[in-house]
């Protein structure tokens, strides 16, 4: 079912977003969002990836501590280390970013 993997996160950026470009010239922006969960002692951290023009706008408008909401889908990524071990991590591939005006 399309869209069943969608999630919405509200939190603050842990650091200034990083912007890079692929070999084909497409913008990619990465940042982390700390989501405060009621009852939890520490926030839950989410890796967020944004593509295209929205990536450039995130880089220009967001900074460490910015309050944002992000909507997207979680994607599990797998890579091999130099030692040949498989490592996994989850990232939120965002299709919508919103900022708090307060």
The fourth-level CATH superfamily of domain 6-99 is Nucleic acid-binding proteins (2.40.50.140)
Mean pLDDT, the chain, whole residue set: 92
Residue 51 has pLDDT above 50, yes or no: yes
Q: Which residue has the tokens 């912007």?
A: 19
Of 65, 74, 56, which is closest to residue 99 (Cα–Cα)? 65
Are 31 and 62 in contact, with CB atoms under 8 Å apart?
yes
- Give residue 4's pLDDT: 60
User: Would you list the domain boundaries of the chain?
Assistant: 6-99
The whole-model pTM stands at 0.85
């Amino acid at each position: 079912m399309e869209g069943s993997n969608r999630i919405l996160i509200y939190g603050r950026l842990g650091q200034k977003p990083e912007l890079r470009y692929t070999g084909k010239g497409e913008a990619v922006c990465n940042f982390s969002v700390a989501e405060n969960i009621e009852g939890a002692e520490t926030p839950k951290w989410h890796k967020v990836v944004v593509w295209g023009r929205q990536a450039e706008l995130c880089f220009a408008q967001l900074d460490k501590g910015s309050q944002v909401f992000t909507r997207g889908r979680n994607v599990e990524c797998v890579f091999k280390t130099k030692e040949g071990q498989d490592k996994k991590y989850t990232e939120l591939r965002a299709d919508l970013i919103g900022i708090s005006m307060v």
